[in-house]
């Protein structure tokens, strides 16, 4: 007897508004375990909002989200979902070391005392080693390069053992070597069974990075192979005219984007098990 597989990620008809702004409209997608899915779309297309809805940081007006069959609140509390936020969403002056940041990925397992046990320390050290940051473990998080900062957050999700990983523009402001390291790590984590969603402006990197891709413009316009999504006629669906240089960062530089997350990530309006507040314009720092 074959059992139907439950997708690791299921987003069903999700609409999110910030006051008058309709950021997502009936977005629907699913992703199996072991797959990497790239999300592309213009600035303001709703990529960060999709991730925030999946983290339970913003509340959908409509629709349902399940991560490994769990609600967003449960998935976040249990450490099922890991999040690498945009740079702007993090308070880099926060007085924590790289090791502290990665250790935060273990909080869900540590209980209320948050005292790391041997297994926690070992998982943190292994994650730091995997991303190549073991030698910088005691450095304050803000004293890292852009690529190293991203790798620190990837290490946090690795230490967490997250089955679903959401990465919001992990290649923005990152050198080529870090980009390659992060791409290789994500491929390895998917091979180990994680379901990974990555928003990116870097179209060149998409085929190497992702098994599938989504073209987003408030709605899911297309969900197909990276090659299909990158066809000019399909890019034109989202961008009007396809971007010529293979990098969408220039498509609309007006909106720098910002977000929220957990711990040192700014303006977290909701605890892991609390319902997020209704979304009001400017609720988050933009
Ligand atoms: N806190 C907020 N208050 C009001 N409007 C918001 C807020 N956050 C996002 N928006 C708006 O919602 C829409 C979607 O924004 P979102 O940040 O999700 O897009 P994005 O695709 O991630 O963009 P970028 O590529 O610039 O990061 C945009 O019009 C944005 O201006």
Q: In the chain, where do the E strands start and end? A: 9-18, 21-31, 36-40, 62-67, 81-84, 164-168, 195-199, 212-217, 219-224
Count of CA atoms in the C-beta half-sphere (13 A) of 279: 25
The reply to whether ipTM tops 0.85 is: yes
- Residue 279: the pLDDT is 65
Predicted confidence band of residue 87 (pLDDT cuts 50, 70, 90): confident
pLDDT (tens digit per residue) in 177-200: 889 999 999 999 999 999 999 999
Q: What string of H, E and C letters represents the secondary structure of 191-238?
A: HCCCEEEEECCECCCHHHHCCEEEEEECEEEEEECHHHHCCHHHHHHH
Ligand 1 pocket test target in 58, 255, 260 with most atoms within 8 Å of CB: 255
- Mean pLDDT, rounded, for 123-133: 96
For the domain spanning 9-98+163-250, the CATH number is 3.40.50.300
271: Cβ contacts below 8 Å, ≥ 6 apart: none
pLDDT of 95 > 70? The answer is yes
DSSP-assigned beta bridge partners for residue 73 = none
What ligand 1 atom has the least distance to the C-alpha of 256? 26
Ligand 1 pocket test target in 17, 19, 20, 44 with most atoms within 8 Å of CB: 44
How far, in Å, from the CA of 84 to the mean position of ligand 1? Answer: 17
How far, in Å, from the CA of 236 to the mean position of ligand 1? Answer: 21
Note the pTM of the prediction, 2 decimals: 0.85
Query: What sign does the dihedral 57-74-84-42 (CA atoms) show?
Result: negative
How far, in Å, from the CA of 76 to the mean position of ligand 1? Answer: 22
Contact 174, 154 (CB under 8 A): no
Pick from 28, 32, 23, 31: which is nearest to 12 by CA?
28
How far, in Å, from the CA of 44 to the mean position of ligand 1? Answer: 5
How many Cβ atoms are within 10 Å of 211's Cβ, its own excluded?
17
Establish whether residue 44 lines the binding site of ligand 1, counting it when its CB lies within 6 angstroms of any ligand atom: yes
pLDDT of 109 > 60? The answer is yes
Contact 159, 123 (CB under 8 A): yes
Ligand 1 pocket test target in 47, 51, 248, 279 with most atoms within 8 Å of CB: 47
Establish whether residue 47 lines the binding site of ligand 1, counting it when its CB lies within 6 angstroms of any ligand atom: yes
How far, in Å, from the CA of 256 to the mean position of ligand 1? Answer: 9
């Amino acid at each position: 007897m074959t059992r139907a597989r439950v997708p690791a990620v299921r987003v069903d008809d999700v609409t999110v508004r910030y006051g008058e702004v309709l950021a997502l409209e009936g977005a629907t997608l699913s992703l199996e375990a072991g797959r990497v899915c790239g999300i592309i779309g213009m600035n303001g297309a709703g990529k960060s909002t999709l991730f925030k809805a999946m983290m339970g940081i913003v509340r959908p007006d409509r629709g349902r989200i399940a991560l490994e069959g769990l609600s967003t609140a449960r998935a976040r509390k249990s450490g099922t979902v890991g999040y690498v936020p945009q740079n702007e969403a993090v308070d880099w002056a926060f007085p924590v070391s790289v090791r502290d940041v990665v250790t935060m990925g273990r909080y869900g397992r540590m209980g209320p005392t948050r005292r790391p046990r041997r297994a926690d320390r070992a998982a943190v050290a292994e994650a730091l080693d995997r991303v190549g940051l073991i030698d910088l473990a005691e450095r304050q998080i803000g004293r890292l390069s852009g690529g190293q900062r991203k790798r620190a957050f990837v290490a946090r999700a690795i230490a967490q053992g997250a089955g679903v990983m959401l990465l919001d523009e992990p290649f923005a402001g990152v050198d080529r070597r870090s980009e390659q390291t992060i791409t290789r790590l994500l491929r390895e984590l998917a091979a180990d069974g994680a379901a990974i969603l990555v928003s990116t402006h870097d179209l060149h990197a998409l085929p190497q990075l992702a098994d599938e891709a989504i073209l987003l413009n408030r709605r899911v316009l297309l969900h197909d192979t990276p090659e299909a999504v990158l066809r000019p006629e399909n890019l034109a669906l989202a961008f009007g005219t396809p971007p010529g240089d293979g990098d969408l960062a220039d498509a609309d530089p007006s909106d720098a984007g910002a977000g929220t997350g957990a711990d040192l990530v700014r303006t977290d309006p909701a605890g892991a098990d609390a319902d997020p507040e209704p979304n009001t314009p400017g609720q988050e720092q933009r």
